[in-house]
Amino acid sequence: MSQASTGNRLSGPLHDVAGEAGHEHHPPRMGFFTDTSVCIGCKACEVACKEWNAVPEDGLSLSGMSYDNTVSLGASTWRHVAFIEQIGHGPPATEPFAADGAPAETAEPANPGDIRWLMSSDVCKHCTHAACLDVCPTGSLFRTEFGTVVVQDDICNGCGYCVPACPYGVIDIRPGDGRAFKCTLCYDRLGAGLEPACAKACPTQSIQFGELDELRERAADRVEALHAAGRPEARLYGESPDDGVGGDGAFFLLLDEPEVYGLPPDPVVTTRDLGAMWRHAAAAAGTMVVAVGAAFLTSRGRRR
């Protein structure tokens, strides 16, 4: 194992994730920009995802969490729309227009007692540095030519290492099946030149699919426009290549702190320190190998 080369491949900015994974002549990195400021909470994404990917029903229970009965992402929930009810965040006043089209002189303040209902469709982030993939011992999780992270169900043996590795709590083992599942960013559809099922269905284009670089530009423009419209609370989440996972392949425009949406404020790839850890592990393994070799008088272990 060429440990020396792994340092910058497990954390920090990484321009060419697919190339790094051995894909030569690969397409641009594709991803999602989920603009929650236009999400209407219809859950078309959840259903379209399940229809396309034949993801099983995930339980019929009323959660009491506003209109969210999906509760979280999981092995059988690859899109999850969160609903957050907040008091004291009235919808902002829009400049009314006078009959001649010019902005009127008085804009009304938002009603202070008003409620705000945030809605946001969460999904696997397809991290630049995907800990789930890094810890997968079977090679089931892999980086596609689109730069996305996909579980291969013909490989996965259900060891579950990926589950605690994910800094977002996305991937999980499906009970009754035993294997790990999560969003594939509709890998099969991408191969056919189609957009993922959720983005295709989304009535208001809250979920936008495209080349990640282009999505980042679009998102920056959108934030700027919202700020100009008097909505300073608009911010991006998961967009920066400098964050703890090297930037997400699926990032978000939020209208409040990430925690409000149930998102970790500062996710860090759990394998960031893998290089250092590996050196320790290698030393330990070497010790073990000596012991094993001594015990069985074989040379197998020494190939490490």
Partner 1 sequence: MGVRTWIEGWPAYRQLAGPDPLGRGVAAESSGSRDLVARTEQADRVVRSICPYCAVGCGQRVYVKDEQVTQIEGDPDSPISRGRLCPKGSASKSLVTSPARVTKVRYRRPHGSEWEDLELDTAVDMIADRVVRTRRETWQDTDDEGRVLRRTMGIASLGGATLDNEENYLMKKLYTALGAIQVENQARI
Partner 2 sequence: MAEAHPVGFQWVMEAKKRGATVIHVDPRFTRTSALADVYVSLRAGSDIAFLGGLVNYVLENELDFREYVVAYTNAAAILREDYQGPDDLDGLFSGYDPDGRHYDSTTWQYEGADTPSPGSGEMTETEPAQGAGGDPSASRVGGAAGRAASYGDTHGSGGAAITGKPRRDETLQHPRCVYQVIKRHFARYTPEVVSQVCGVPEDQFLRVAREMTENSGRERTTALCYAVGWTHHSVGAQYIRTAAILQALLGNIGRPGGGILALRGHASIQGSTDIPTLFNLLPGYIPMPHANAHPDLESLVGDEEKQAGFWGNMRSYVVSLLKSWYGDAATADNDFCYGWLPRLTGNHGTYQTVADMADGKVKGYFLVGENPAVGSANAKMQRRGLASLDWLVVRDLVMIESATFWREAPEIETGEMRTEDIATEVFVLPAAAHTEKDGTFTNTQRLLQWHHKAVEPPDDARSDLWFYFHLGRRIREKLAGSTDERDAPLLNLTWDYPTDGPTADPSADAVLREINGTGPDGSALSAYTELKADGSTRSGCWIYCGVYADEANQAARRKPGQEQTWVAPEWGWAWPANRRMLYNRAAADRDGNPWSERKRYVWWDAKAGKWTGEDVPDFIPDRDPHYVPPESATGPDAIAGDDPFVMQTDGKAWLFAPQGVADGPLPTHYEPPESPVANPLYRQQQNPAREVYPRRDNLLHPSGAQPGSEVFPYVFTTYRVTEHHTAGGMSRTLPYLSELQPELFVEISPALADERKLQHLGWATVVTARTAIEARVLVTDRMRPLTVDGRTVHQVGIPWHWGPGGLSRGDAANDLVAVALDPNVHIQDKVGSCDIRPGRRPRGPALLEYVEEYRRRAGITELTGTEGVTP
Query: Residue numbers of the site for partner 1 (CB under 8 A)?
Result: 1-2, 5-6, 9, 18, 20-24, 42-44, 46-48, 51-52, 133-134, 137-145, 150, 152-155, 186-189, 191-192, 194, 197, 200-203, 300-301, 304
Among 67, 142, 161, 278, binds partner 2 (CB under 8 A): 67
- In whole angstroms, give the CA distance from residue 203 to residue 235: 22
From the number of C-beta atoms within 10 Å of its C-beta (0-12, 13-18, 19+), residue 20 rates as: middle
Q: Can you tell me which residue has the tokens 């396309």?
A: 52
163 C-beta neighbours (distance < 10 Å), count: 17
Q: Cα–Cα distance between 85 and 263 in angstroms, integer? A: 16
- 108 touches which of partner 2, partner 1, none (CB within 5 to 8 A by kind)? partner 2
Q: Which helix (H) or strand (E) holds 237?
A: strand 235-237
Q: Which is nearer to partner 1, 201 or 254 (CB)?
A: 201
Question: Which residues are 80's β-sheet partners?
Answer: 122
Q: How far is CA 105 from CA 135, 165, 171, 232, in A?
A: 60, 55, 52, 22
With binding defined as CB under 8 A, does residue 74 bind partner 2? Answer: no
Q: How far is the CB of 98 from partner 2 (least distance, A)?
A: 6
- Nearby residues of 177 by Cβ (< 8 Å), 6 or more positions away: 75, 158
Q: Is residue 94 within the footprint of partner 2 (CB under 8 A)?
A: yes
Site for partner 2 in 28-57 (CB under 8 A): 38, 40-44, 46-47, 50-51, 56-57
> Quick one: what does residue 286 bind among partner 2, partner 1, none, with the CB cut-off 5 to 8 Å set by partner type?
none
- We find the least distance from the C-beta atom of residue 19 to partner 1, in angstroms, to be 9
- Interface residues for partner 2 in 233-272 (CB under 8 A)? none
**Which of 7, 13, 22, 59 is the binder for partner 2 (CB under 8 A)?**
59
Closer by beta carbon to partner 1, 19 or else 90: 19
Q: How many CB atoms lie within 10 A of CB 104?
A: 12
Q: Is residue 42 within 8 Å of residue 206, measured between CB atoms?
A: no
Q: State the residues that interact with partner 2 by CB under 8 A.
A: 38, 40-44, 46-47, 50-51, 56-62, 64, 66-67, 69-70, 85, 87, 91-94, 96-101, 104, 108, 111, 114-119, 203-205
